[in-house]
Chains A and B, each alone.
Chain A
């Protein structure tokens, strides 16, 4: 276990140490202490390692992550796991706005609530939120899956492409071109897997969710759909 005191050693030294780990390494377990809400903790990691952050983080924690498993033992500020490519990021507390934005792959788990714009413009990431998500979540989400055990705020999935959204609680309002869709057996199987990987299988069953997706009317401009914009 490598222990890194962020307050004493500094952010640049931390991220330089993590970036130096390429491919297989013996330093597979890292612990970051005294994060104190700092920005850009463990951004751009590209190695199959496990990182535990002991406390709450500021902007962009675990951004652009590849391969690593990063666990935040606290809450995360705006843009956690932004543009993640692969690997897993688990936030034990809440996440601020645009969690998992533009994510290409990997799994983001938020054990508390996520604020506004969760999964905005996501491109393949899977996001499991144990609590609620805020307004304008999954705006222009292109692909990937979002699972919300609680409620969703206003304008869920506005201008949605092909991401699949599963919400167990209420949806305050759906965004333009986002509609409720039939839950088929393959979706239940997908949900069961996501709940398990998202450490939520004891909390909810796939049958309790509703599925939302794109009505596919806004992909290309069509004058007949002008009122839907």
Chain B
């Protein structure tokens, strides 16, 4: 099954509430995906600064002196904010690649969840309410965000198997459904130089879109290409630095509801996820059409 929620804010006045609104939506989708949950928050860029969100199974060991060690390795200031099993490392934007290389060397057990100027991804095994609470998602601010509650089908229930998946700078993707040709597409993408952390089908979809964007596609074009190149059932919600997109496969078994007001565009696997949003009573509410790409960019 799986549940997806997404919120793209048009009205800056709602930005302080983004985490709280998304948390409420995410918890409503618990019975669609009780085994793990995750959230990608686009919290806004700071001039010249980038962020890497990392995860560790042994945070007390791995995160101890990580900021200082990374500082020594790249020779630039690094700020670290630890949130449970995750830590957000803030450093100069032009040092993202250097920091990732150093990180792999300094802390081989640490996994990179996301990197970019705005994105932060937090995901763990457990009930959505517990996952949201351990990272303090309800207090997070931002411009847009995507959440996922997972009922695993194609790979094991692990932190790295949870969504969102991020395979490119400031990019992420969540998925409801299952892909049947992911092994073939993964092989093709590996030949093109993409790297993978898991055997998960959704990571392949994320990497497929990242690869297309790298090749020069616009977000809408990259999403359109999933309709011809990916086989299986899917509703995808995709986030980028400044955008938010939705696409469903042509069969469209996996449910999806969208709502739009002057203040936001919202996505939910079910209408239930949207009922507490401000102004939902008068929002334009619709079911996205099969095989049709929807996206919004600021």
Using a CB–CB cutoff of 8 Å, the interface residues on chain A facing chain B are 36-38, 56, 58-59, 75, 77-78, 93-94, 96-97, 115-116, 134-135
A36 and B290 CA atoms in complex are apart in Å by 25
B194 contacts partner chain A, Cβ-Cβ < 8 Å: no
B271 touches A75 (CB 8 A): yes
Closest 3 pairs between A and B when the two form their complex, measured CB to CB? A37-B272, A37-B271, A36-B275
A38 touches B272 (CB 8 A): yes
Q: Contacts A78-B255, A97-B252 given; indicate if A36 touches B272 (C-beta within 8 A).
A: yes
Chain B stretch 263-283: residues in CB contact (< 8 A) with chain A: 270-275
What are 6 A-B interface contacts by the 8 Å CB criterion? A36-B275, A75-B285, A77-B255, A96-B287, A116-B251, A116-B290
A37 touches B255 (CB 8 A): no
A32 and B290 CA atoms in complex are apart in Å by 32
Q: Which residues of A contact B287 (CB under 8 A)?
A: 94, 96, 115
A77 touches B270 (CB 8 A): yes
Interface size class of B (residues with CB under 8 A): 10 to 19
A77 and B274 CA atoms in complex are apart in Å by 13
A116 touches B252 (CB 8 A): yes
A93 and B281 CA atoms in complex are apart in Å by 13
Q: Which residues of A contact B252 (CB under 8 A)?
A: 97, 115-116, 134-135
A49 and B272 CA atoms in complex are apart in Å by 27
Q: Which residues of B contact A38 (CB under 8 A)?
A: 272
A96 touches B275 (CB 8 A): no
The residue of chain A having its C-beta at the shortest distance from the C-beta of B276 within the complex is A36
Q: Contacts A56-B285, A116-B290, A135-B290 given; indicate if A97 touches B255 (C-beta within 8 A).
A: yes
- Interface digits, B235-277 against A, CB 8 Å rule (1 contact, 0 not)? 0000000000000001111010100000000000011111100
Q: Which residues of A contact B286 (CB under 8 A)?
A: 94
A78 and B275 CA atoms in complex are apart in Å by 17
The residue of chain A having its C-beta at the shortest distance from the C-beta of B281 within the complex is A55
The residue of chain A having its C-beta at the shortest distance from the C-beta of B285 within the complex is A75
- The smallest beta-carbon distance between A12 and chain B, in angstroms, is 15
Q: Which residues of A contact B275 (CB under 8 A)?
A: 36-37
Q: Which residues of B contact A56 (CB under 8 A)?
A: 271, 285
- The smallest beta-carbon distance between B287 and chain A, in angstroms, is 5
Which of B250, B251, B271, B285 is A58 in contact with, Cβ under 8 Å? B271
Q: Which residues of B contact A135 (CB under 8 A)?
A: 250, 252, 290
- The smallest beta-carbon distance between A30 and chain B, in angstroms, is 21
A216 and B163 CA atoms in complex are apart in Å by 47
A96 and B271 CA atoms in complex are apart in Å by 11
- The smallest beta-carbon distance between A6 and chain B, in angstroms, is 12
A125 and B130 CA atoms in complex are apart in Å by 45
A135 and B250 CA atoms in complex are apart in Å by 9
The residue of chain A having its C-beta at the shortest distance from the C-beta of B286 within the complex is A94
- Between B250, B274, B287, the greatest number of chain A beta carbons within 10 A of the residue's beta carbon is seen for B287
Q: Which residues of A contact B271 (CB under 8 A)?
A: 37, 56, 58, 75, 77
A116 and B286 CA atoms in complex are apart in Å by 13
The residue of chain A having its C-beta at the shortest distance from the C-beta of B28 within the complex is A37
Given contacts A59-B270, A116-B251, 14 further A-B contacts (CB under 8 A): A37-B272, A37-B273, A37-B275, A56-B285, A58-B271, A75-B285, A94-B286, A96-B287, A97-B252, A97-B253, A97-B255, A115-B252, A134-B290, A135-B290
A135 and B289 CA atoms in complex are apart in Å by 10
A90 and B98 CA atoms in complex are apart in Å by 61
A116 and B251 CA atoms in complex are apart in Å by 8
The residue of chain B having its C-beta at the shortest distance from the C-beta of A93 within the complex is B285
Q: Which residues of B contact A59 (CB under 8 A)?
A: 270
The residue of chain A having its C-beta at the shortest distance from the C-beta of B272 within the complex is A37
The residue of chain B having its C-beta at the shortest distance from the C-beta of A56 within the complex is B271
- The smallest beta-carbon distance between A59 and chain B, in angstroms, is 8
- The smallest beta-carbon distance between B160 and chain A, in angstroms, is 31
A151 and B292 CA atoms in complex are apart in Å by 17
- The smallest beta-carbon distance between A183 and chain B, in angstroms, is 30
A166 and B286 CA atoms in complex are apart in Å by 25
